[in-house]
Chains A and B, each alone.
Chain A
């Protein structure tokens, strides 16, 4: 029974679900819920980015551009044009997907540092447009986003809801919604990884030329996964915009792109649990470092550098290997 659970490819999703839904029982402070919800949203974004970086082995230093584009599309469409939020979110995802497809085809022919350069450029261009079209986006000052609503039912962090006879405050409701979204994001990603697409991506990561030689349409699969990861970013960007109710162009900027890709690498590439852990660590770290005041930046940089030097595979795989080695030893060397 336990063996079958260990072999089940989705076993970690159940573990994740338990963690996600037990945590709210241990927290009360709305501030923690706010932080936790942000972590869930960003974690779902990097689960998507991981498909591109971790599985297909392609670099994107501009993914925040897609995240910001989704967020701003939703924000502008719902506030200035009174679109229903769900419609805005879907259309935003479609538009971002289209943009990613159009730029992705030529960009993904590039390799290594040229690909980093090109994705960085795409992200920058999107951020500059958001920054400068201030009559729509409010420019560097940011803009207010209306709360999410569906068929007249409004989800706001300040609301009060009842579920199965329980009174749930808005910030807890948002946390639960974000938690469900993360689980859905992980399940979809895992299914993609186990599909022929996932196999093709891993073959591209291994050796692109070898993959092409055996008949894998590498260009098609690479742009497909680029679009998928951009759509993930766009949807979570829209969700984030409605959640916080106020967005600034920083969420589309280069620094934020670096944050996203760092989460993927720090936690452990090609492992959904790893990248989620990366998101948790990178989002919590500034909270712990706030006490160091002016030394905060230096310590943050140092931790980033040291982790990547000593755990180049990331936290999660390193920790899992250590645990497996321990277990292997205690059961008489049986791994």
Chain B
């Protein structure tokens, strides 16, 4: 009777602990992995986004040269892969400055001084060589060429499409939710800790059983998160992403795959700890049974 009285609270506490552990993991994952500028920077490095972005620009400016008559090198020489890499990192830093309240709005920009000088020089040289009058139309052409090139470079360097996310108001929404993350994390940790304490109190006279219930909660919480991650990885789900621009595809798919990998690691560790605790429980129970048999040899007859 006493055992049943303990069994039911243990089942209930373990059930609640599974979801408390899941909630804690999810909140901490969102705070330290998803909404972390370093995750984006890692993706930029791992996926070699600068090279993909540069190749896209090279293709566009080379193709445009056929219609504009402006050689691609005029735009490409001042913008090398390092400048693009810095641009990609800046797009992330500026977005996180906005998210963390360090700036009031998000307006991704890069330093285009060299590009502007190169275009001005090209137009000026061209005008002098061909006797082209530097009138209002000339100025308009220079301004249009610079502005068009800058907007293309910014579009390509914004590999995570943070400007689009900002324009659609999603960055503003994320900013609001970031404010709730710390209290949510504290709340989830407090709930988890409270459930742990209650489980310890329930099993204070049989600590081996504590290992069982904790192990069970941890193993189930881990597996609940691990199985969807395994499915996403095994089916290569994210590679069906509809955007085929190489730098955007690599950034988005790389980011989602990195998140899945990290979630899998976290879930694997949780499940692993749970399984270890269950094994420990088995060992302790086996040892207790052996001790009990040794102390009362008649039981075996």
The finding on whether chains A and B are genuine partners in a shared complex, rather than unrelated, reads no
